[in-house]
Amino acid sequence: MGLAKTEMFTDQQNEIALFAKVFGHPARVSILQHLFKTDSCVCGDLVNEIGLAQPTISQHLKELKHLGLIKGNVEGTSVCYCIHKENWTAMKTVMSEFLNQDLTEKEDCC
């Protein structure tokens, strides 16, 4: 059997693609913006803030948490979420290196 598509690429390339995927949905972008704006743990008010159904919000939170951009703590019967600041900083470094490749001096190609 052949290689999985992701096995053909470096760890860094796969990581960049995962970050791009997580930013590829406006609901996840909105959740991240709300968590930054609130600047504290958010417990349950995302449904009212974002305007999507609870299962949909939960799925997007799961994606963000799986990638490590947010973290969650159980408080009573709910889970409270906040930005995982160390992982966010690491993601910014990886993405900046990728996005800033055009800043190095090179000859025009075309």
Amino acid symbol at 26: P
**What are the extents of the domains in the chain?**
10-96
Q: What is the pLDDT of residue 78?
A: 80
Q: What is the pLDDT of residue 74?
A: 81
- The verdict on domain 10-96 having CATH code 1.10.10.10 is yes
Q: What is the pTM of this model?
A: 0.85
Task: Give CA–CA dist 6/70, Å, rounded.
Answer: 24
Bridge partners of residue 70, in order along the sequence: 83
Q: What is the pLDDT of residue 79?
A: 84
| Backbone torsion region of residue 5, taken as left when φ is above 0, otherwise alpha when ψ lies between -120 and 50, otherwise beta | alpha
Judged by DSSP in three states, 9 sits in coil
Q: Tell me the pLDDT of the chain (110 aa) as tens digits.
A: 456 687 899 999 999 999 999 999 999 999 999 999 998 888 877 888 889 998 999 999 999 999 999 998 887 778 889 999 999 999 999 999 999 998 877 777 77
